[in-house]
Amino acid sequence: MVQRFDLAVVGGGPAGSAAAWQARQAGASVVVVDKAEFPRDKPCGDGLTARAVSYLQRMGLAEQVSQFHRVNRVKVFSPSEWELSFPRRPGMPDHGYVARRPELDTLLLKHAEAAGAEIRQSAEAAGPLLDDTGRVTGVLLKGGEKVLADAVIAADGAYSPIKRALKLDSDYNGYSAIAIRAEMPAVRPDVDSLDIYLKLLFQGDQLPGYGWVFPLGDGRINIGLGYVNSYKNWQAINATHFLGEFLETLPREWELPSITELKQSKTVRAWRLPMGFTAWPPWRPGVLFTGDSLGAGRPTSGAGISKALESGLAAGECAVAALANGGPDDFTNYAQRMEAAWGQEYRRGRFFHKLAGNPTVAKTGLKLLDNARFRNMLLTRLYKGQEGPAHRF
Ligand SMILES: Cc1cc2nc3c(=O)[nH]c(=O)nc-3n(C[C@H](O)[C@H](O)[C@H](O)COP(=O)(O)OP(=O)(O)OC[C@H]3O[C@@H](n4cnc5c(N)ncnc54)[C@H](O)[C@@H]3O)c2cc1C
């Protein structure tokens, strides 16, 4: 059987659903194929930044999103404790949420379906279909079925099989973080803050990363940690063991389960988080990359859901515009959009990513940040012109 669409989206995570939803607003025929059956899990801290909330609101999901556990601030331990509010920007939410990924991603995929996209679950892409010129013309599913499309949006996550099959090279390849998380009950109130722990030591080295404790509501929390791969010994770190050590530094009165108990309950999962545009330019003839497959994660914080949503919406819009005005050989409009949105920030972020991998630099940076006078000066400079003690998380 061969089906034909304007757009085939591979991957029904936040990036893919946002792209499909956006393309449907312009009337394109869209299919989303995902290898999983939803609701499906995705290792994540489950934290939705204010920016992520704003994209969900733009997609018409304001009410549904407000059902998740709301957070109003970020509490940082460096190791001294200080707080940041979400930035107050005109027309933007000043709060975030913590949302379990099976629930969030199912909500988004159903939203794309309600907008008219055809959703095919348990449909694994084996690779892209190519014409004689090397242009992507569709997707081959495992089992042999072909899905033809004028353009393919690769929203297939951190390990992007589409990207790997095309053997894409990029100057920014290799920038990534390793992150691990577990969900568990805790004897503590359901707070309204995202808690970030900056002091992460491995064999005496301060790591370029952080630990987190995010409240899910109903007495449950998501605890995890992540570190970027510019630290020379990152491969020597046993992430599960390291998470266990982190859990032991948290208050005893929370009565957290041990790492052994968590492993038995299968909630402990690690995953890669590409960042800083690992596929650049973000398109090739017939195909656009979005979300983790683009390496859209923010290099300084690892926030990926808002970036998946933003790049997904942009990919959906730019793909349809390019197809209507020139065809599938040139998606420069998408590269321009991504460059304008994050180009400068991600250039700085990649520099910072490399720098922070040096434990001496990381230790000095943390010491400075722990100093209230220096911190206030830095934040005032960074967020000049924005209201409140703002910080873009
Ligand atoms: C441990 C951890 C914690 C994190 N915490 C946060 C956080 O708190 N806040 C935040 O903003 N970001 C966080 N991130 C980043 C965030 O999870 C990702 O950036 C985000 O999920 C990217 O969305 P996506 O749609 O690009 O990819 P994904 O959500 O990974 O979706 C990709 C989809 O593609 C499908 N797929 C893959 N291969 C195929 C195939 N061959 N055929 C068909 N379908 C396929 C998968 O089934 C999946 O549904 C975290 C990441 C990690 C690893």
Counting atoms of ligand 1 from 1, which one is nearest the CA of 305? 11
338 CB-near residues (< 8 Å, 6+ apart)? 277, 282, 294, 311, 314
Mean pLDDT of 72-84: 95
What would you measure as the largest C-alpha separation in the chain, in angstroms?
66
Our answer on whether the CB atom of 225 is closer than 6 Å to any ligand 1 atom is no
- Domains of the chain: which residue ranges? 2-46+100-173+275-352, 72-96+176-273+358-393
pLDDT of res. 300: 85
pLDDT, tens digit, for every residue of 259-300?
A: 999 999 989 999 999 999 999 999 999 999 999 999 999 988
pLDDT, tens digit, for every residue of 354-367?
A: 999 999 999 999 99
| Site to substitute for ligand 1 among 305, 311, 342, 393, most atoms within 8 A of C-beta | 305
Q: How far is the CA of 365 from the centre of ligand 1 (A)?
A: 30
pLDDT of res. 36: 98
Counting atoms of ligand 1 from 1, which one is nearest the CA of 125? 42
Prediction pTM value: 0.96
pLDDT at 59 over 70: yes
Our answer on whether the CB atom of 195 is closer than 6 Å to any ligand 1 atom is no
Are 59 and 350 in contact, with CB atoms under 8 Å apart? no
Please determine whether the domains at 2-46+100-173+275-352 and 72-96+176-273+358-393 fall in the same fold group of CATH.
no
Best CA proximity match to 100, nearest among 141, 137, 48, 53 = 48
Our answer on whether the CB atom of 161 is closer than 6 Å to any ligand 1 atom is yes
Mean pLDDT of 314-340: 98
In the numeric block, the tokens 């989206």 are attached to 9
pLDDT at 385 over 60: no
Our answer on whether the CB atom of 292 is closer than 6 Å to any ligand 1 atom is yes
pLDDT of res. 386: 56
Q: How many CA atoms lie within 13 A of 13 on its CB side?
A: 27
- CATH number assigned to the domain with residue range 72-96+176-273+358-393, chosen from the 4 options 3.40.50, 2.30.30, 1.10.1740, 3.30.9: 3.30.9
Our answer on whether the CB atom of 109 is closer than 6 Å to any ligand 1 atom is no
Report how far apart the first and last C-alpha atoms of the chain are (Å, whole number). 46
Our answer on whether the CB atom of 291 is closer than 6 Å to any ligand 1 atom is yes
- The answer regarding whether domain 2-46+100-173+275-352 maps to CATH 3.40.350.10 reads no
Mean pLDDT of 254-258: 97
Q: In which band, very low, low, confident or very high, does the pLDDT at 169 lie, cut at 50, 70 and 90?
A: confident
Cβ neighbour number for residue 287 with a 10 Å cutoff = 29
pLDDT at 390 over 50: no
372-381 long-range contacts (CB < 8 A, ≥24 apart) are 372/80, 372/82, 375/82, 379/84
Our answer on whether the CB atom of 44 is closer than 6 Å to any ligand 1 atom is yes
Q: How far is the CA of 272 from the centre of ligand 1 (A)?
A: 9
Counting atoms of ligand 1 from 1, which one is nearest the CA of 297? 19
Measure Cα distances from 306 to 109, 254, 289, 302, 384 in Å. 16, 30, 15, 10, 23
Mean of the per-residue pLDDT values for the chain? 95
| Site to substitute for ligand 1 among 56, 156, 393, most atoms within 8 A of C-beta | 156
Counting atoms of ligand 1 from 1, which one is nearest the CA of 49? 11
Counting atoms of ligand 1 from 1, which one is nearest the CA of 292? 26
Bridge-based pairing state of the strands 220-228 and 176-185: antiparallel
pLDDT at 392 over 80: no
Are 33 and 125 in contact, with CB atoms under 8 Å apart? yes
Handedness of CA 77, 81, 82, 85 (dihedral sign): positive
Measure Cα distances from 53 to 22, 45, 223 in Å. 16, 15, 21
Q: Is 276 left (phi over 0), alpha (psi -120 to 50) or beta?
A: left
pLDDT of res. 171: 82
Rounded Cα distance between 62 and 55, Å, is: 9
pLDDT of res. 391: 44
pLDDT of res. 388: 47
Our answer on whether the CB atom of 155 is closer than 6 Å to any ligand 1 atom is yes
Alpha-helical regions (H) of the chain: 14-25, 50-58, 62-65, 101-114, 161-165, 239-248, 259-264, 305-324, 332-338, 344-356, 359-369, 372-382
Rounded Cα distance between 125 and 145, Å, is: 9
CA geometry: angle 53, 35, 182, nearest 5 deg: 55
